[in-house]
Every structure is written in C-alpha cells, then in structure tokens.
Amino acid sequence: MSLILGIDPGASTGVATYVDGELASLETIAPHQLERTLRAVLPSRVVFEDSRLETRAWNARQKAAYGAALATARSLGQVDAWCRLITDLCAELGIPAHGISPTAKGAKRDAESFAITTGWKGRCNQHERDAAMVAWPYRRAAR
C-alpha cells in the first residue's frame, strides 16, 4: 500500500492523505500536531508546500503600511520554520520528503475546481485543497 501525505504548513496546517493514488482524507491540524501525525501514519512519502523555495515572497512596497509588511514577514518566517520542522521530522523517521514551491504547486483552486480535478466530494477548506494539490503529481509515487 502506498500512502502519500501532502502538507500545506501554516497556522492552520492542511493535510491530504492519498492511499494507492486516491485522495482518502483531508484535515486541518495545528502545527504542533505535525510530529504526532507523521509518527501515527508513517507515510511512504511526504510532499509539502515549501515557502523557502520562493525567491521573492512579498514586496514591502506593495503593502499599504509598513506594519502590514512586517506582519507578512513574521508569518512567512513561521511557515519557513514549520517547513524546516517537516524536513527534520521526516529525516528522523526515515520518510522521503520534499518541498514544492508555492508557484510550482499552481494557482489556488476553489472547491468546485478541486472536486473536478480530484473527485473529492466532501467539504474542504483552502489549506486542505493546497495540501492535496501540492502532492497531486506524486500521489502514485512509490517509496
């Protein structure tokens, strides 16, 4: 059995589980639950959206206020740290893992477009859809 996890790290972390290439579940967890989730599932592979791979994440001149630019920088720093945590946890557990840049993942999908692409019929939020789409090209990857 092949079990692939897609992860969209953030304050609300999206997790998508593919079993033998089929999207089996979507959930949102807190970042502190990442280790527990990885240890419980021990997937064949982890694919995550890795903000560290973006060469240009934001531009302070595009923000209306300096405070908004600082808030964006702080949030991005947190996500970068969670990406590092995923990488380190997977290495410790012997799970193949790699990041995909947000640009390479592609544009965000609304629920209707997501359902057409994946066949998912349940409710889902943007974090869960992003987690599923980051792993979509790898859903049939073997260990």
* Residue-range definition of the domain harbouring residue 112: 3-138
Q: What is the CATH number of the domain that holds 80?
A: 3.30.420.10
What pLDDT, on the 0 to 100 scale, is given for residue 52?
A: 83
Residue 15's Cα: distance from chain center in Å?
7
Alpha helices in 1-143 (DSSP H): 34-41, 66-93, 102-105, 111-118, 126-135
Q: Evaluate whether residue 25 is within a structural domain.
A: yes
pLDDT in tens, 10-38: 999 999 999 999 999 999 999 999 999 99
**Domain count for the chain:** 1
For 50-92, write each residue's pLDDT tens digit.
988 876 655 555 556 666 665 665 566 678 889 999 999 999 9
Q: What is the pTM of this model?
A: 0.86
> Is residue 143 assigned to a domain?
no
